[in-house]
Amino acid sequence: MQLNANSTLNLFSSDGILLVRSPAIGPMIGRDFSGSPNFQRFKEGVSGTFVGTATTDGVQRLYAYDRIEEVPLILSFTLSTDDFLSTWRRRALVLGLATIALCGAVIALTFLFRGELERRESLQVELERMATTDALTGMANRRSFDTSLAREWRRAQRVGAPIALLMIDADHFKAYNDRHGHTRGDAVLQRVAAAIESELRRPGDQAARRGGEEFVVLLPDTGASGARIRAERIRRAVSALDISHAGSPHARITVSVGVAALIPKEGVAAVSLIEAADQSLYRAKASGRDRVSAA
């Protein structure tokens, strides 16, 4: 029988004398092992297995034994635990390395997907911001304003609250653009927008650029008198910028402001508020500009 270097096949008499050993070691044949711990375990049952350390060479082995009662003899087979476990250890090492590699790949993919999700979320936020923000002034754009007006109009109808609108136009702005060019004109619009927003005091107030040199301010829960006061503050804030404008009778950049305020009734559309503010703006411009007119 071909055995591994650390494996043995032994035949003992029932009183512990080694009769046969393979591989054979001459001096051990006939030796009495009855006092060894391993032989004592042979006597515990008819057959069995256990792990023990050989007294002859100190190698830890897996022992399997069987008592042959008819003879009486004890047959034992031993296999070094290193040999027995080597295949398992190799497989465990391979599986362990594969598991580590897989976990690493999963972690890497997790971070990759997380980064991609964050990038997409950031892009989505930026796209939403671009869709609702005026690129030149950073104000809300007309689309965002229309959404806010519709929402606040419904709320005002529901609770019976007033709502006000300021329509603002930069006076003689075409003449300024024609004289100084669009680059300087854009810079002026940015400063005018900042001046308008500086006068918004409450979180619900919203300023937007409707287009060109026209701006609008939505004032929820604001009646006519409060809206007129806010409009006058905005007019003064723009005038205080003191931006020279040779094409204006006022010699500087100014704004005209139309004011409209009402309590929405059922069946009345928000466009009625816009129309009223537009009419007020027309009167302010017709009256000499750089002034506030209320509906």
Asked if 252 contacts 243 with a C-beta cutoff of 8 angstroms, the reply is yes
Residue with the two structure tokens 């905005």: 234
* C-alpha–C-alpha distance, residues 155 and 176, integer Å: 40
Q: 264: which DSSP letter?
A: P
Has 197 been annotated as catalytic?
no
* C-alpha–C-alpha distance, residues 264 and 218, integer Å: 14
Q: 17: which DSSP letter?
A: B
Q: How far is CA 213 from CA 182, 185, 243, in A?
A: 12, 9, 15
Pairing of the two strands 255-262 and 292-294: parallel
* C-alpha–C-alpha distance, residues 164 and 47, integer Å: 99
In sequence order, what DSSP letters do the residues of 175-227 get, joined into one string? HHHHHH-HHHHHHHHHHHHHHHHHT--STT-EEEEEETTEEEEEEET--HHHH
* C-alpha–C-alpha distance, residues 93 and 96, integer Å: 5
Listed residue (194, 206, 222, 213) closest to 132, CA to CA: 206
What's the sign of the alpha-carbon dihedral 110, 116, 120, 123? Answer: positive
What's the sign of the alpha-carbon dihedral 10, 15, 16, 19? Answer: negative
Of the candidates 69, 121, 213, 275, the residue annotated as catalytic is 213
- Active site positions, annotated: 213
